[in-house]
Amino acid sequence: MELRQLVYFVEVARLNNFTKAAERLRIAQPALSQQIRNLEQELGVKLFHRTGRGVTLTEAGEQFLMGAEKTLTEAQMAKDSVKGLINSPHGKIVVGALESMVQTRLPSLLVVFSKKYPGIKVFIRENTTEPLLEALKK
């Protein structure tokens, strides 16, 4: 069983017609028939009633359709989850700051920043000037 077969199956189930589904999928009708046949063989059930004028889902087909759609959704989400990592900045930064800053301007800045970059975790290191400069050098 492959995702390609699930895509094919869902399209046929949607249109109730191999010929039209094959068109939309940009493949030849016999190629589509073949793939559905392979899928039916692997599952051990008929997924469609062949009625001469199109097709209709069997009971097993109805059942499988739900699972097939869910699987495709999961696959798409898995893909998107890594794409998301590429395009949006992410990681962690440590902000060294004096106590005065931490108590005054910093909080509101961090709120704005966190909204703009939800993928970035911000840590605050509060200290005096000298230790902060040392830490920065390291």
Partner DNA sequence: TAAAAATACTCCATAGGTATTTTAT
Partner DNA sequence: ATAAAATACCTATGGAGTATTTTTA
Which residues lie near DNA (CB under 7 A)?
A: 4, 16-20, 26-31, 33-38, 50-55
68 binds, among its own copies, DNA, none (CB under 5 to 8 A by kind): its own copies
Among 81, 108, 128, 129, binds its own copies (CB under 8 A): 81
Q: In the bound complex, what is the minimum distance in angstroms from residue 37's beta carbon to DNA?
A: 7
29 binds, among DNA, its own copies, none (CB under 5 to 8 A by kind): DNA
Q: Which is nearer to DNA, 12 or 106 (CB)?
A: 12
Helix 3-15 to helix 59-87 angle (10° resolution) is 120
Residue 90 CA to residue 106 CA, distance in Å, equals 20
60 binds, among DNA, its own copies, none (CB under 5 to 8 A by kind): its own copies
Q: How far, in Å, are 26, 65, 80, 119, 131 from residue 76 at the CA level?
A: 20, 16, 6, 20, 48
| CA-derived radius of gyration, the chain | 28
| Contact status, residue 83 vs residue 72, Cβ threshold 8 Å | no
Element at 128 (helix H, strand E): none
Q: Which residues bind its own copies (CB under 8 A)?
A: 1-4, 6, 43-45, 59-60, 63-64, 66-68, 70-71, 74-75, 77-79, 81-83, 85-86
